[in-house]
Amino acid sequence: MKTVILLIDFFGHPVFGGEYINTKRYIEIQKILTNTRIDKSKLVFAVGGGWEDQKLCELERMAKNLDFKFHQYPKDTTFDQLKEQLWLKCNFEMDTKDTQIIVGGCNTGGCVIKASKPMCAIDSYIKGYETTIYLPMCAEYEQPGINDTERTMMGFAEVYKQIRDYKAFKIRIETDFNALNIPIRFKENTKEVMTRVYSVEPGADGDAV
């Protein structure tokens, strides 16, 4: 399945967060960029904003050097407009039939989940895309709390409320990178290949074919 990694307001408000919350989501992008098994033709990063974010700009440079597709979309872009942009600029065809959207960014209980902007997890679900919120790629700064733990708990509570209110129960919430179903380049099992090559089927002269 093709994958759009949708990063919404990724920079956020780092002055209100600790070192861990300000670093974790960038490491998750690096985890993708350094995975040599990923099928780069079937994956694209779609980033809202980010021009003021030095870390994200550096990750964009790394992504392009590694031949990953990395597209920064203008503010207030809709899913229909993103589909057109990705086709024109990245030669990437985005379709509800074969494309999943993995959402990350800031804030988890705000722009990531809510339909307060043209693109978010709820709107992705409504459009018919298979949708996953990947929590390690998210951060919460806006919810009330005295530290990152409290704000994260409040943010996740808001995520649950929004999923319940929109009856968007097919939205997946993941913390495990291996559960994201990111497209992997096909690599035949050597044993299986050898079995096919040396399997004996009788031909006209009785030899293997």
Confidence check: pLDDT of 96 > 50: yes
Q: Give the tens place of pLDDT for each residue, 7-28.
A: 999 998 899 999 999 999 999 9
3-state helix, strand, coil in the chain (%, to 5): 40, 20, 40
How far apart (Å, rounded) are the C-alpha atoms in residues 91 and 118?
22
CB 60: neighbour CB atoms within 10 A? 20
Q: Which residue has the higher pLDDT, 194 or 19?
A: 19
pLDDT for the residue numbered 191: 43
Q: Do the beta carbons of residue 121 and residue 133 sit within 8 Å?
A: yes
Minimum mean pLDDT range among 168-177, 188-197, 200-209? 188-197
Rounded CA-CA distance 137/154 in Å is 17
**pLDDT of residue 193 exceeding 90:** no
Give yes or no for residue 113 having a pLDDT over 60.
yes
The span from the CA of 194 to the CA of 202, in Å, is: 18
Pure H helices in the chain: 19-33, 54-65, 79-90, 121-127, 148-165, 190-198
pLDDT, mean over the chain: 88
Question: pTM score, two decimals?
Answer: 0.86
Mind listing the domains of the chain with CATH numbers? 2-198 (3.40.50)
Give me the pLDDT at residue 187, please. 59
- Cβ within 8 Å of residue 122, ≥6 positions away: 113, 114, 115, 162, 163, 166, 168, 171
Residue 192 scores a pLDDT above 60: no
pLDDT score of 50: 64
Q: Which residue, among 94, 80, 83, 84, has the nearest Cα to 3 in the 3D structure?
A: 94
